[in-house]
């Protein structure tokens, strides 16, 4: 624990609590469709809604993230900040940032191209999103060979279509060239509700932008705390810049539960 005091942050109003999904509220599974919230988390998120603004900030499509979390009354922010929904997408419509709209078609073209080659790419899963998407190759028989094959297929057309490729563990993200990321999305969320206290929890490379943005917000006078969910192979930069570390999704679920318990205690 750093010198940042959880009780001080939880005492701020308006308070915001923002969570990543995969590796934070849900354990990693071999395929994206297998992910499930850790037991008890959905109930704690429901209780949490009464004390602050609660958001899910994920790399997944809003609908996909909402399918996993499935708690009403949260803000669902998908595709690393490109799309927003003020409740479950069954209740409210999903808003794509207008600046992202022109990249829907180029993203689709890249996925169409990969789809044509799918029979020669065993173990590859294509996850299309509203704009761009994720190419998973974690299940491929040879990771490095498949990675090279995918990059060879994608690099030139992506450049021509002005789309960006980014690599993670066993995946390639097809992204827009926009600078929107989880950090920018977090700031938008904070400004939208005039939050004074902000907690963000995440575990992976794309969460680092949000962790760093929280630091900037703290320098601007807000009470903020980032929670890093540590797994085998957690990026050193996450541990360096985060404020509070928990071990695995189980540790995150435990902390979430204790946060809700604290908020439910009567104030003196």
Q: How far is the CB of 137 from ligand L263DTV3 (least distance, A)?
A: 9
Q: Which is nearer to ligand L263DTV3, 30 or 122 (CB)?
A: 30
> In terms of C-beta density within 10 A (0-12 exposed, 13-18 middle, 19 or more buried), how is residue 12 classed?
middle
Of 48, 91, 34, residue with least CA distance to 201 = 48
Q: What are the tokens at 35?
A: 């992910």
Of 20, 7, 59, 12, residue with least CA distance to 252 = 20
Q: Which residues bind ligand L263DTV3 (CB under 6 A)?
A: 20-23, 28-32, 35, 58-60, 127, 134, 136, 138, 170-171, 204, 206
Q: Which is nearer to ligand L263DTV3, 46 or 231 (CB)?
A: 231
Q: How far is the CB of 191 from ligand L263DTV3 (least distance, A)?
A: 21
Q: How far is the CB of 206 from ligand L263DTV3 (least distance, A)?
A: 6
Q: Which is nearer to ligand L263DTV3, 205 or 263 (CB)?
A: 205
Q: Which is nearer to ligand L263DTV3, 36 or 90 (CB)?
A: 36
Q: How far is the CB of 51 from ligand L263DTV3 (least distance, A)?
A: 23
Of 260, 258, 263, 253, residue with least CA distance to 40 = 253
Residue nearest to ligand L263DTV3 (CB): 59
How distant, in Å, are the alpha carbons of 2, 101, 233 from that of 178?
A: 33, 11, 28
Of 176, 223, 191, 231, residue with least CA distance to 207 = 231
Q: How far is the CB of 210 from ligand L263DTV3 (least distance, A)?
A: 10
Q: What are the tokens at 182?
A: 């989880």
Q: Which is nearer to ligand L263DTV3, 182 or 223 (CB)?
A: 182
- Find tokens 């192979």 and name the residue: 233
């Amino acid at each position: 624990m750093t010198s940042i005091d959880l009780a001080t942050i939880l005492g701020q109003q308006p308070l915001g609590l923002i969570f990543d999904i995969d590796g934070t509220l849900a354990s990693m599974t071999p395929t994206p469709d297998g992910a499930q919230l850790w037991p008890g988390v959905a109930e704690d998120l429901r209780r949490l809604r009464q004390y602050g603004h609660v958001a899910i900030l994920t790399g997944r499509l809003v609908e996909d993230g909402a399918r996993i979390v499935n708690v009403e009354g949260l803000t669902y922010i998908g595709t690393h900040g490109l799309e927003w929904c003020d409740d479950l997408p069954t209740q409210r419509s999903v808003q794509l940032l207008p600046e992202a709209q022109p990249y829907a078609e180029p993203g689709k073209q890249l996925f169409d191209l990969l789809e044509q080659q799918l029979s020669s790419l065993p173990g590859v899963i294509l996850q299309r999103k509203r704009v761009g998407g994720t190419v998973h190759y974690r299940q491929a028989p040879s990771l490095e060979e498949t990675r090279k094959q995918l990059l060879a297929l994608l690099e030139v057309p992506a450049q021509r279509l002005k789309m960006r490729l980014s690599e993670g563990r066993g995946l390639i993200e097809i992204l827009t060239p926009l600078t929107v990321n989880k950090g920018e999305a977090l700031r938008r969320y904070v400004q939208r509700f005039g939050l004074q206290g902000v907690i963000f929890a995440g575990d992976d490379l794309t969460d680092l932008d949000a962790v760093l943005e929280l630091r900037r917000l703290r320098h601007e006078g807000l009470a903020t705390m980032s929670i890093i969910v540590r797994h085998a192979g957690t990026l050193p930069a996450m541990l360096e810049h985060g404020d509070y570390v928990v071990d695995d999704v189980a540790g995150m679920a435990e902390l979430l539960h204790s946060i809700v318990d604290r908020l439910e205690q009567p104030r003196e």
